[in-house]
Amino acid sequence: MPRWSDRRAGEPLRLYRDPVHGRLFGVCAGLADYFGVDVRLVRAGTILAGIVFNWFTVIAYAVLAFYLPVKPAELPGGLDDDGFWQKMRVHPAQVLAEIRRRHERLQQRLAILEAEVTSREFALREQFREMR
């Protein structure tokens, strides 16, 4: 199984630093975005870990601040795609059910269009258009 560091840039589950929405280096904001939780919870957890584990938390934060890439201004696929992947990480069963419903609706529409295009009436109308 590939690690997050082995993923190519632009893949949906990439962990980034988000300095635009962050306070210091954007590590907490990036973690919050990746896991789909409120950034305040991650910051509170970081502060609590800093109190309990002292230097380990500071070193871990510094390592993440140094090694995590900065989140691009716009991820490939657009903003809607970014929201999709965040929902997918938090509620995958709901997202997959919605995808199935959309797929079924598209299949129904395609079947209707296919029936229309392959009908004799459609071919007859096309022949009349060519005669004009």
Confidence category of residue 44, pLDDT binned at 50, 70, 90: very high
Global pTM reads 0.51
| pLDDT score, position 9 | 41
Residue 12: Cβ within 10 Å count: 15
More confident residue, 80 or 71: 71
Q: Which of 75-84, 98-107, 114-123 has the highest mean pLDDT?
A: 98-107
What token pair was written down for 50? 């800093």
Cβ within 8 Å of residue 35, ≥6 positions away: 42, 89, 90
More confident residue, 85 or 107: 107
Amino acid making up residue 83: G
